[in-house]
Amino acid sequence: MEPGAIGIILSILSATATAGWTVWTWNEQQSAEKERQRDQVEALYVNPFLIACEVLQKRLYGIINENELEFFKQECPEVYDLGSPEAIELLYVIVIYFGWAKAVYRYGPYISDRQAIELNQKISNTFSNFRDFSSQAFYFSSSEQRSLGLAFVRSVRRVDSIHPEFKTVSLYKFAEELSNDINRCSPLYQNICKTINAIDCANHINELEGRERLVAVQNYLVDLLNYIESKEGFSVSSQVRQKASLGGSISQSNTDLEFVHDIDGRVRLRIPQLCQDKSYAEYLLSRLQSLTGVQAIKINSAAASITINYSLAIPKTEFKQKIIEMIGQAG
């Protein structure tokens, strides 16, 4: 082969190698840029949204299944003009969720994720549902959710031409603006007042108007958090989340408590530990006998069951809740 031909071949090979290197480098740069943009979107929207979801579901679980209302009323029995700190703070975490939900589903990576969208829609629909939840407490229409979210999770600047940065208004600022700036004649303000009053008028979860709506919201939030965290590869909580239930779920993981029969004045429940631990049965008997209104208790250790007769003056749901709490403490 002539030297000239060899030179041409070498030139072609060199050009091909250079082109290949250029393409590879460009692909690497593009991948790095996409990863950078993904990290940016996660920091701007996903992380704050997950935190807002976690704070709300945890607060709702505490109210529904961990006696948070009773504890607060004992600690802070004062009467306030707009509402108690507990009521204002619960409303605040609901509103902040509204704000970050709007942000993440407009600018975040889940704008086309069908399952994430469906779960978010279920939460939004639960807040705006009058068909299945007739109570007006904790009711906010879709437009009210959007208005509240935009009012208290505010755009502060643009990181680039596409992505705005949002900032959450502080709890203090939220309470201040709620008192001063909102139109008190508007339906939105009336819904806010009904929500605050529902919290402040209840001394126990069974007295809380709109509690069924909150249970549904908390359950959907747990599903949404678990789904997005599985996609993101990390969790904002170190604990396994539990779904709230008006029937109570306190310490059921330890006792497997099950109500098998209940009528006004009498309940029968099954606790497997009764047939496994005689000392537990004796201890539980002494604790339950201390409950107000208890008239008679019969434990059948072989059947792992316990029957309790109580005063008809005590509402059934209230008495069942007291049993759940007592057994949870005993467990």
- Of 257 and 294, which is predicted with more confidence? 294
Q: How sure is the predictor about 263, in pLDDT bands with cuts at 50, 70 and 90? A: confident
And the tokens for 21?
């290197």
Going from the N-terminus, what domains does the chain have, and what CATH number goes with each?
A: 32-232 (no CATH), 252-330 (3.30.1360.40)
Out of 117-126, 168-177, 294-303, 311-320, pick the least confident. 311-320
Contact (CB, 8 A) for 218 and 97: no
In a 10 Å sphere around its CB, with 0-12 CB exposed, 13-18 middle and 19+ buried, how is residue 194 labelled?
A: middle
- Angle ∠(164,165,167) on CA atoms, nearest 5: 140
pLDDT given at position 31: 53
Contact (CB, 8 A) for 272 and 310: no
pLDDT given at position 302: 80
Per-residue pLDDT for 255 more than 60? no
And the tokens for 212?
């069924």
Number of other residues whose CB lies within 10 A of the CB of residue 276: 11
Q: Rounded distance, CA 122 to CA 126, Å?
A: 6
Average pLDDT over residues 252-275: 75
Contact (CB, 8 A) for 205 and 66: no
Number of other residues whose CB lies within 10 A of the CB of residue 199: 23
Number of other residues whose CB lies within 10 A of the CB of residue 284: 22
Q: Rounded distance, CA 26 to CA 264, Å?
A: 74
pTM over 0.75? The answer is no
Q: Rounded distance, CA 86 to CA 199, Å?
A: 8
What distances in angstroms separate CA 142 from CA 126, 155, 181, one per listed residue? Answer: 10, 20, 21
When computed from its CA atoms, the radius of gyration of the chain, rounded to whole angstroms, is 28
Amino acid 165 reads E
Would strands 258-263 and 266-270 be described as parallel, antiparallel, or unpaired? antiparallel
Q: How sure is the predictor about 68, in pLDDT bands with cuts at 50, 70 and 90? A: confident
Cα dihedral 89, 90, 93, 96 in deg (nearest 10): -90
Contact (CB, 8 A) for 83 and 200: yes
Dihedral sign for Cα 190, 196, 199, 200, please.
negative
Say how many CA atoms lie within 13 Å of 276 toward its Cβ: 7
Cα dihedral 9, 13, 15, 16 in deg (nearest 10): 140
- Of 279 and 114, which is predicted with more confidence? 114
Would strands 305-310 and 266-270 be described as parallel, antiparallel, or unpaired? antiparallel
Average pLDDT over residues 309-331: 79
Say how many CA atoms lie within 13 Å of 189 toward its Cβ: 11
Q: Rounded distance, CA 8 to CA 2, Å?
A: 10
Per-residue pLDDT for 14 more than 50? yes
Q: Rounded distance, CA 325 to CA 288, Å?
A: 10
Out of 130-144, 262-276, 297-311, pick the least confident. 262-276
Write b or e for each residue in 9-41: b if 16 or more Cβ atoms lie within 10 A of its Cβ, otherwise e: eeeeeeeeeeeeeeeeeeeeeeeeeeeeeeeeb
Contact (CB, 8 A) for 51 and 95: no
pLDDT tens for each residue of 180-194: 755 666 778 888 999
pLDDT given at position 5: 65
